Amino acid sequence: MSITSEQFRRVLRLFPCGVTITTLRCADEIHGLTVSAFASVSPEPPLIAVVIDNRHRAAELLEQPGTSFAVNFMAEDQAELSNRFAWVKDEDRFAEVAWGQAATGAPVLENALAWLDCHIHSSHRAGDHTIYVGEVQACRVLQDDKLPLVYWNQGYRKLDTPS
């Protein structure tokens, strides 16, 4: 390898990302985790992608047949919720969160800016992560009057928009 992992990370952390909570249903189990590696892929058919570390519980569940997932966009006042879905391990991450069920059965968060509910279209192993492409079955805008949560250079940020 021509660069170190630290060199790679130092560059990547300078790219600003939105923050999602990616939620999934696998048979009777629901799960969710914070994901910033999200991309829009194709409008026709409607495809999006999330990139998940193969060591995560989420990756194990996403490999099971029939698993569906949803991507919930976080608002600027939801850093605490983002941390909950990133760091809480033993507790139920959904315990203090209002959520419902979308068309695929995936859980969706009622206080997100918007969500996309997906069947898994394909998955692509890439190094120690996997790219999961989702085909969007349902989507909803819940609040378009709020600003998004942004993650940049190892911290949560807010957009500074001129009024």
Question: What are the distances in angstroms from CA 132 to CA 1, 70, 121?
Answer: 25, 11, 8
Q: Between residues 35 and 112, which has the closer beta carbon with respect to ligand FMN?
A: 35
Q: According to the binding rule CB under 6 A, does residue 72 interact with ligand FMN?
A: no
53 touches ligand FMN by CB under 6 A: yes
CB of residue 49 to ligand FMN, shortest distance in Å? 11
| Beta pairing class for 29-35 and 20-26 | antiparallel
Quote the least distance from Cβ 44 to ligand FMN, whole Å.
25
Long-range contact list for 94-101, CB < 8 A, 24+ apart? Answer: 94/30, 94/32, 99/23, 101/25
19 contacts: CB under 8 Å, gap ≥ 6: 34, 35, 36, 73, 74, 78, 82, 148, 149, 150, 151, 156
Work out which of 69, 73, 94, 151 binds ligand FMN, going by CB under 6 A. 151
Nearer to ligand FMN, 43 or 155 (CB): 155
Q: Which of 24, 25, 30, 34 binds ligand FMN (CB under 6 A)?
A: 34
What residues line the site for ligand FMN (CB under 6 A)?
19, 33-37, 51-53, 56-58, 82, 86, 151
